[in-house]
Structure 1
Amino acid sequence: MPVDMRTYLGHVELINPITTAAGCAASGSELSQFFDLGRIGALTTRSITMAPRAGRPTPRMAETPSGMLNAIGLQGPGVDAFLERELPWLDQRGVKTVVSIAGGTVAEYTALARRLTDAPGVSAVEVNLSCPNIEDRGRVFARDGAASAEVIASVRSVMRYDVPVVAKLSPDVMDIVSVARACVDAGADALSMINNPLGMSIDTEAMRPSLAAVTGGLSGPAIRPLAVRCVWQVHAALPSVPVIGMGGVLTGRDAFELILAGACVVAVGTALFHDPYACLRILRELEELLAARGFHRLADAVGLAHRPPGAATRHRTDLEESSL
């Protein structure tokens, strides 16, 4: 019997739990050369800004053991071009689209949300909180619960009620649970974690930092244990809140680990740079793994690792008896 892979992001139903991570599939057209985007649960766009941005100077990517550093700088065409060309392209193909937004002030996030609220084809809005607040000496919003909550409350106040608002959290905090709770209390319908932790490497030949920006976001398998820890802690504290888990997902087993920790949706990011078919492969591997473990529904695996020892065995026995 095939596994029911459906899941929900707020009230939005997804055919399966696999999505792309923001910034790793641009706005979809490049990835669509390899497979039908409608075969994955959703596509998450790069972070959209009010004005076009050229990004940071090169070099802005560097390979590291089990991962990579990037300091792209939110390169993109701006919201006008996104609404004119990229979002309609996705909408015409029926792709569930999570639009990531980024800003330097609360007012900028609010203006972006207002532009999106009446735009057709927006399935959810992911608020990238790992941006410097230019009104607070450049402190990153995601590192402060109150600042994050202010952004989320403002976005939620102008966004259509039927469009879930997702707060994207950074692991570079003392207590990710307190930031998550502040965002949910402010109106976030779901949480996305983790954004890239900050890292750095030095080119030992040039004897200079590898990136022009010196530091950058670390992604890839090296950060997966960090992602699992964050998802676990937040799901334990807020078990009813949907979580998009991400960070170093290369295989279906990696996705399953985040699901057991509490994620109901899993985003694939860095893997796409060397395997454009990674989303479909990971989805297939995940479904096969769930079937082999005796699951009939993906939903039954979400957060299962939090249950008492033996719960998974009892769960499989119940499934077997119910199928008789």
Structure 2
Amino acid sequence: MTNLNVKFGNIDFKNPLVMASGTFGFGKEYNEIYDIQKLGGISSKGLTLNKRDGNSGMRVCETPSGMMNSVGLENPGVQGFIDNELQFFKDLDLVRIANVGGGTLDDYIKGVQLLNDQPIDMIELNISCPNVKAGGMAFGIKNEVAREVVREVRSVTNLPLVIKLSPNAEDIIGMAQVCEEEGANGVSLVNTFKAMAIDIHKRKPVFENVYAGLSGPAIKPIALRMVHEVCKNISIPVMGMGGITTAQDAIEFIMAGSTCIQVGTANFINPKIGLEIIDGIEAFMLKEGIKSLDEIRGIL
């Protein structure tokens, strides 16, 4: 018999597959297609303290082996999530993760505080958001800026805290180590890569914000390398992501050291990809005589 259960810190997942923030909403729409409770977990659509309408203009652009997005964190706000989405979210038999972003340190703190007494299992802190008080540079670029955010958020919540890292960080290993030092229970990586597309006929950038986030299979080899490096240099668990579209991809990230894996862009290609990846991991384990994912995690 195979066992797909994994333990991320003190949290038990029925399997390692988590749906990445921003690609699965709060699960309602996908639950009309299949029973999403077969998943290990869901990371909610990114929540900010106040409701956001997102960016105007083009929001998604297909690229070779991937896609770019400039959605702009459109979301109902933390209180809107609590009032209108949490009832469905809380009743799911899987690990419920609230993804939280912010434009200021105060936004992060107040947003997390609102979630403290809510029926969620974990907070995933997205530090890729631009710091509006520091000229727009993301909180997750410089280690000491990230340190302050993690320290302050850690001080106001007892919920398990996972920090979502940007691949655009100046030092991804150092960034992960800072998160561990400041009390994070885990890290997730990688978020999208900063990228650009140009409309040659209009002679201007495709996106109004000029730059956008690149995701999908194109980033997988780089994401896999970053996850491997981070796993070798911290002792807290890792959720690996970046271009995972098959069970083989997922297994590679687990072999690189990931405890859980997150799937994002692939949901737009195949809404049932989560089930296929779970079944594929189980089939691989049966074929190879692997009883637990602990046997292959971090073997490289």
Task: Tell me the TM-score normalized by structure 1.
Answer: 0.90
SS at 1:57's partner residue? Answer: coil
Among 213, 219, 223, the alignment partner of 1:223 is 219
**Distance across 2 between alignment mates of 1:119 and 1:247:** 29
SS at 1:30's partner residue? Answer: helix
Look up the equivalent residue of 2:195 and give its one-letter code: G
SS at 2:208's partner residue? Answer: coil
**Distance across 1 between alignment mates of 2:85 and 2:267:** 20
Does the 8 Å contact 2:13/2:94 carry over to 1?
Answer: no
Does the 8 Å contact 2:47/2:99 carry over to 1?
Answer: yes
Cα drift, residue 93 of structure 1? 3.1
Among 126, 142, 154, the alignment partner of 1:128 is 126
Q: Deviations over 1:81-129 (max 9, x none)?
A: 1001212211123342111000011111011111011112x11100000
Other-structure match for 1:264: 259
**Distance across 1 between alignment mates of 2:86 and 2:152:** 23
SS at 1:211's partner residue? Answer: coil
Cα drift, residue 292 of structure 1? 1.9
Does the 8 Å contact 1:38/1:96 carry over to 2?
Answer: no
Residue correspondence of structure 1 range 121-200 to structure 2 within 5 A: 122-160=120-158, 163-200=159-196
Other-structure match for 1:297: 292
Look up the equivalent residue of 1:38 and give its one-letter code: Q
Residue correspondence of structure 1 range 43-192 to structure 2 within 5 A: 43-120=42-119, 122-160=120-158, 163-192=159-188
**Distance across 2 between alignment mates of 1:294 and 1:204:** 53
Other-structure match for 1:317: none
Does the 8 Å contact 2:14/2:94 carry over to 1?
Answer: no
Q: Deviations over 1:126-151 (max 9, x none)?
A: 00000111222222111011111111
With 85-94 and 278-287 compared, the bigger mean Cα shift is at 85-94
Other-structure match for 1:275: 270
Matched, 1:15 2:14: yes
Does the 8 Å contact 2:142/2:170 carry over to 1?
Answer: no
Other-structure match for 2:240: 245
Look up the equivalent residue of 1:30 and give its one-letter code: E
Does the 8 Å contact 2:17/2:41 carry over to 1?
Answer: yes
Return structure 1 stretches of 4+ with deviation > 3 angstroms: none
Q: Deviations over 1:211-236 (max 9, x none)?
A: 22211000000000111011100111
Cα drift, residue 196 of structure 1? 0.3
SS at 1:139's partner residue? Answer: coil
**Distance across 1 between alignment mates of 2:258 and 2:193:** 19
Does the 8 Å contact 1:66/1:221 carry over to 2?
Answer: yes
With 293-302 and 184-193 compared, the bigger mean Cα shift is at 293-302
Aligned length: 300
Other-structure match for 1:322: none
Does the 8 Å contact 2:247/2:278 carry over to 1?
Answer: yes
RMSD: 1.1
Report percent identity of matched pairs: 36
Look up the equivalent residue of 1:296 and give its one-letter code: K
Q: Deviations over 1:257-303 (max 9, x none)?
A: 11111101011100101211011101111111122222110122111
**Distance across 2 between alignment mates of 1:37 and 1:156:** 30
Does the 8 Å contact 1:57/1:213 carry over to 2?
Answer: no
**Distance across 1 between alignment mates of 2:80 and 2:16:** 29
Does the 8 Å contact 2:143/2:171 carry over to 1?
Answer: no
**Distance across 1 between alignment mates of 2:265 and 2:138:** 23
Look up the equivalent residue of 2:151 and give its one-letter code: A
Structure 1, unaligned runs of 5 or more? 306-324
Cα drift, residue 210 of structure 1? 1.6
Look up the equivalent residue of 2:161 and give its one-letter code: V
Look up the equivalent residue of 2:162 and give its one-letter code: V
